Amino acid sequence: MTSFHRGLFQHLITRLFVFLIVFFLLPAPVMGEEPVPTGSLKTGQEILPIIYNLPISNRAVGVKQTRVLDAAFSLLEEGNVFLKKYQELTGSDIKAAYPLGLPYFFGGRDEALLYKIMEAWQNSGHFKKGRSYVYGYDCIGFTRHVYQKAGLNHPATIPDMFTLPEYEVSRIDVMSHPYPEWRNLLNVGELLILKGKVYHHVMIFIGTLSDYGFTREELGETLFRYRDFPLFIHCADNPWAITRNRKHIESLKRTLPIYDTDGGVHVALVGVPPVQAPYTVQVGNVKVHAFELTGAYLPLYDLSEKSSVLGWRLPDSPAALLPVPEPAPLPQENEDAYVELREGVKHPLVKKVKQRLYDLGYYRNNVVNDLYTADTANFIRLVQRTNLLKETGVATAEFLEFFFSDSVTPFHATGP
């Protein structure tokens, strides 16, 4: 081999080595365009994530814990305002199953594949066949998942729901009624089905802003006027889900390209004219209009481009739509007497325990109720740890006597 050929061979080997390093060690590119907000937001300004920290109103509210809402809200992201309101107002200990919420995937129906990297097997407005995405549900997949977890059956397809004679009894002409009246036409957990020129859609009714105790101060004057308009949870276009999904993709450090989704599970407000919304975000060919809600956004869902919109009632008010039965209170003639409190117990004494936790600095939320939740047990464990007691999370009569005495050590946060 001549010196020329040896040099050429070494050059090719070096190029191959560099290519292998770049291919296997560098993180995968995140494919897709960043959604560009318009309106009051400046182009290029970071879109705020939907993470809320709101005070809970003491006003009477209408939301009740149900199996359907438990299943639906568990697929929202951690810190979502509606998840937090639901937890606080109902005492539900439901948590976000996925910290970043569940992404949208066109044709996604398989729970076993959630959050795996999957190739799209069909084209849509956003998804391209053969490209890789983080797997989630589409609208029908999300609704089926929620209904299955709640013990309900779901019709096979949206076209069947519109056309089959056996479903005639379930269909409601909601569009002939003012939007604030929809809460009288649909039970929380029932559906809105929508027929479009190309794609159909389905959403789950969850109540109204009033039901979740939002105040005029939290909503602002314009949004407050629509506090009794219907809210739905669904899996669809959402720019803030794109931002969260992109962060997840970047954390994977994959070498092959992974394309970002165009949405995820979220709550949307229906019936408000888009012109009323101060923010507009472009997601591909779709414009998402939104209101600001204490530092984040509540998107609208526009029904104007759908050829048919129907409510979908479930027959005989199945148990999954009814409030979850509250734990039976302990029989106790004297409410001030100490009894054993553990997770799941509902008793007037729990309010006093939570207030005491707040007064001692362990519990930062001064909104209390009489349900002993998993979080309550964790705070009791912290008290027990601080006071060198056995960490059980159970408030026995002996512990409560100590807990309400002057001997208990308050919580002192440590740090620099």
pLDDT tens for residues 269-284?
A: 999 999 999 999 887 7
Domain boundaries, the chain: 30-321, 326-416
- CA distance linking residue 283 with residue 34, whole number of Å: 8
Instruction: Report in angstroms the alpha-carbon separations of 300 from 51, 80, 101.
Output: 17, 16, 19
Residue from 294, 238, 234, 182 nearest 73 by CA: 234
Q: pLDDT tier at 1 (50, 70, 90 boundaries)?
A: low
pTM (two decimals): 0.68
Beta strands in 244-395 (DSSP E): 258-259, 263-270, 279-283, 286-293, 296-301, 308-312
- Convert the pLDDT of each residue in 47-77 to its tens digit: 333 222 323 333 334 789 999 999 999 999 9
pLDDT exceeds 50 at position 162 = yes
CA atoms within a 13 Å half-sphere pointing along the CA-CB vector of 314: 20
Give percent of the chain above pLDDT 70.
79
Whose tokens are 């936790």? That residue is 357
Angle (nearest 5°) at CA 90 between 321 and 78: 95
- CA distance linking residue 41 with residue 281, whole number of Å: 9
What is the separation of C-alpha 175 from the centre of its chain, rounded to a whole number of angstroms?
27
* Contact between 370 and 394 (Cβ < 8 Å): no
Torsion of CA 181, 183, 187, 188, to 10 degrees: 160
pLDDT exceeds 50 at position 249 = yes
Q: What average pLDDT score do residues 347-374 get? A: 83
- CA distance linking residue 184 with residue 164, whole number of Å: 25
Q: pLDDT tier at 18 (50, 70, 90 boundaries)?
A: very low
pLDDT exceeds 50 at position 39 = no
Q: How many residues in total does the chain contain?
A: 416
The most confident of the ranges 121-130, 258-267, 357-366 is 258-267
Whose tokens are 């109204």? That residue is 208
Question: Among 74-83, 201-210, 214-223, 351-360, which is the least confidently predicted range?
Answer: 351-360
Q: What average pLDDT score do residues 356-365 get? A: 82
Question: Among 45-59, 174-188, 213-227, 320-334, which is the least confidently predicted range?
Answer: 45-59
Give percent of the chain above pLDDT 90.
42
Q: What is the pLDDT of residue 220?
A: 92
pLDDT exceeds 90 at position 373 = no
316 three-state secondary structure: coil
- CA distance linking residue 391 with residue 372, whole number of Å: 16
pLDDT exceeds 80 at position 395 = yes
The most confident of the ranges 141-150, 293-302, 304-313, 359-368 is 141-150
412 three-state secondary structure: coil
Specify the fold of 326-416: Muramoyl-pentapeptide Carboxypeptidase; domain 1 (1.10.101)
- CA distance linking residue 64 with residue 87, whole number of Å: 10
- CA distance linking residue 266 with residue 199, whole number of Å: 19
pLDDT: is 18 or 114 the higher one?
Answer: 114
Residue from 181, 228, 233 nearest 209 by CA: 228
Q: What is the pLDDT of residue 154?
A: 81
298 three-state secondary structure: strand
State the helix-helix crossing angle for 374-386 and 348-359, rounded to 10 degrees: 50
The DSSP 8-state label assigned to residue 406 in this structure reads: T
* Contact between 66 and 98 (Cβ < 8 Å): no
Q: What average pLDDT score do residues 343-358 get? A: 87
Angle (nearest 5°) at CA 70 between 55 and 47: 55
Residue type at 126 in one-letter notation: H
Both tokens of 180, joined, read 């604030």
In 30-128, which ranges are continuous DSSP H helix? 67-73, 81-90
What is the average pLDDT value for the chain, to the nearest integer?
A: 81
- CA distance linking residue 99 with residue 74, whole number of Å: 10
Q: For the chain, what percentages of helix, strand and coil (3-state, to nearest 5) are there?
A: 35, 20, 50
Question: Among 9-13, 64-68, 234-238, which is the least confidently predicted range?
Answer: 9-13
Q: pLDDT tier at 236 (50, 70, 90 boundaries)?
A: very high
Q: What is the pLDDT of residue 172?
A: 93
pLDDT: is 54 or 395 the higher one?
Answer: 395
Question: Is the dihedral angle over the CA atoms 350, 351, 353, 357 positive or is it negative?
Answer: positive
The most confident of the ranges 40-44, 164-168, 315-319 is 164-168
Q: What is the pLDDT of residue 279?
A: 92
pLDDT: is 62 or 356 the higher one?
Answer: 356
Residue from 334, 341, 327, 326 nearest 397 by CA: 341
